Structure 1
């Protein structure tokens, strides 16, 4: 049985083929009279016509799709960010191709190349390292790129991040108000803006409160994972370092701290206070619930999508970045 074509839809609706095409494309539907667009919709439904997005993208080099590159889909931080991206894109007829890299540069490069072949119109990256050659390459080639939750030190790339410095300062103040003066910090990887920035903010907060900045109380974790957090707290507990509280650089590291406390028969906050960062979904279900600095996950994704759409529609615009508040 022959599949209905766009010309069939146009003939049935009594319009030009170009008008039918614009009416069926969410990005251009506003250019068509509402009654005409509805007539085209009815014709398409009656014929069982389905637009071919691949054919459209080959003809126009526009796919109404973007690539969303995530470092670890098992980290509960990222699904709300992805939801924010998708909701904003959906309002204008765009879709997101979501890929998980497992923090593997080779896997990331292969996924990005695959999406470029499919004519995605831009990228939202949640994987950015401070030095990230692939991002520099994409920007140099004219690809619209927006970073979410992270920044780079290289080319000026639009980004949407939370105010980590204020968030860390509030967390330290909370611990000080509880009476803690010997606070340890489990910092994230220092090749990431989140890891480096939160460590810098922690040291500044100690100075602001007149507390000693002891290097032995700072552990650099190689990854933002539960296992890395457990290893770091184990290192601290097995040393002769004196500390009564831990500010973990993110909630996954804090979960690792909870694991170690449980293994050793210690309690939070009885033996050690733990504060996380990110306010991931479900941390209130822990026992005790984890105190954590909230970042606006959904809003980060939504604003990143808005920035990217602007980059796509106004390619000559000067790069703009957004800093969202981190409420305590």
Structure 2
């Protein structure tokens, strides 16, 4: 059996010093050599079938060049583009993302967290943050590099990349008001999450700024961001407040569950009930009717989170940064002016 090629073999084939070959093969240091030299080294490595020894490199640098990415629900369509953004940025610097899915289970999250720490990841990007999150205190105690993405926490000592949840819900609510709706309900996300807490406060304040009411019976708190939770909450909401003409949902899956209930009860959307979502997840434009929603730049959220973590890894002393990316209202067919039985142009179900 022939021996495996070594870094020395690659350097000899490319006609460069071994240190130069090492820099050219590492994406994080490739910029330190000329483009032509780097290409020559890469060609030599391919010809020789050279595979870098990540373990040996980790021993030299005291880094594993891996990053843990903890997400709450791999089946939720908004997380794959976030993960893709993280992976693309990390790969450019020679890092590999290790994905851990928690299924919104706190014990599973702790198990995954410990597994990533055991594997000596250089840092963690966490999309599972709750407003009060014990694991973050533990991470800080251990000196781990952590960046939060999509969700925030009450702690100010972690960098975070989120979208402007307040602005997004305000735009959706303003859209409903602009169409003429005055009796508007809200499907709120879990209050223990920054997204749920911020979005329901924005909903209330936006209505208040237009001198409209948001009584308790117009707001239903969902225990999860899921279609099933949205359907269950919508049934309760409509039973309690049948006079509603519009619903602002805290995310697209909740809106999808609401649409299931509309069909179940023979409520035409948008003729008798308008609805908006939040996220503009894949295929939201294929809903029936196509969903008016707030578009969140999920790929950019992941990419910025990756960049923030790399900054922490490359700069021993760094400042905590909190980035808020702007959302955009996407108007589709699920919203319309409220039905008026006294007009001849209305088309009730």
Instruction: Determine if the TM-score, normalized by the shorter chain, exceeds 0.5.
Output: yes
- Range moving further from structure 2, 271-280 or 233-242: 233-242
- For 1:203, the equivalent position in structure 2 comes to 204
- Range moving further from structure 2, 187-196 or 167-176: 167-176
- For 1:283, the equivalent position in structure 2 comes to 284
- Deviation track 1:138-181 (CA, whole Å, cap 9, x = no partner) reads 12322211111111113521111111111111111111121111
- For 1:321, the equivalent position in structure 2 comes to 322
Q: Cα gap change, 1:192/1:14 in structure 2, threshold over 3 Å: closer, same or farther?
A: same
- Range moving further from structure 2, 280-289 or 241-250: 241-250
Please give the alpha-carbon distance, in whole angstroms, between the structure 2 residues aligned to 1:33 and 1:282: 44
- For 1:67, the equivalent position in structure 2 comes to 68
- Deviation track 1:173-193 (CA, whole Å, cap 9, x = no partner) reads 111121111111110100000
- For 2:123, the equivalent position in structure 1 comes to 122
How far is the alpha carbon of 1:224 from its aligned partner? 0.6
- Range moving further from structure 2, 177-186 or 81-90: 81-90
- Range moving further from structure 2, 45-54 or 183-192: 45-54
- Deviation track 1:77-111 (CA, whole Å, cap 9, x = no partner) reads 11111122122223323222222111112222222
SS in 2 for 1:322: strand
Please give the alpha-carbon distance, in whole angstroms, between the structure 2 residues aligned to 1:206 and 1:228: 24
> Does the Cα contact within 8 Å between 2:218 and 2:241 map onto a contact in 1?
no
Q: Cα gap change, 1:18/1:112 in structure 2, threshold over 3 Å: closer, same or farther?
A: farther
Q: Cα gap change, 1:68/1:175 in structure 2, threshold over 3 Å: closer, same or farther?
A: same
- Range moving further from structure 2, 17-26 or 178-187: 17-26
- For 2:107, the equivalent position in structure 1 comes to 106
How far is the alpha carbon of 1:116 from its aligned partner? 2.4
- Deviation track 1:255-286 (CA, whole Å, cap 9, x = no partner) reads 00011111122211122111111111111101
Please give the alpha-carbon distance, in whole angstroms, between the structure 1 residues aligned to 2:164 and 2:174: 16
SS in 2 for 1:99: strand
User: Does 2:150 align with 1:149?
Assistant: yes
> Does the Cα contact within 8 Å between 1:248 and 1:275 map onto a contact in 2?
yes
- Deviation track 1:22-60 (CA, whole Å, cap 9, x = no partner) reads 222111222334444344333322322111223322332
SS in 2 for 1:247: strand
Q: Report 1:38-57 matches (<5 A).
A: 38-57=39-58
Q: Cα gap change, 1:259/1:62 in structure 2, threshold over 3 Å: closer, same or farther?
A: same
User: Does 2:221 align with 1:226?
Assistant: no
Q: Report 1:140-179 matches (<5 A).
A: 140-179=141-180
Please give the alpha-carbon distance, in whole angstroms, between the structure 2 residues aligned to 1:254 and 1:107: 28
Please give the alpha-carbon distance, in whole angstroms, between the structure 2 residues aligned to 1:325 and 1:270: 30
> Does the Cα contact within 8 Å between 1:216 and 1:241 map onto a contact in 2?
no
How far is the alpha carbon of 1:7 from its aligned partner? 3.0
User: Does 2:272 align with 1:248?
Assistant: no
Which stretches in structure 1 are left out of the alignment for 5+ residues?
none
Using structure 2 for the length normalisation, give the TM-score: 0.89
Please give the alpha-carbon distance, in whole angstroms, between the structure 1 residues aligned to 2:286 and 2:12: 59
- Deviation track 1:281-316 (CA, whole Å, cap 9, x = no partner) reads 111101110111111112111111111111111131
Please give the alpha-carbon distance, in whole angstroms, between the structure 1 residues aligned to 2:297 and 2:14: 46
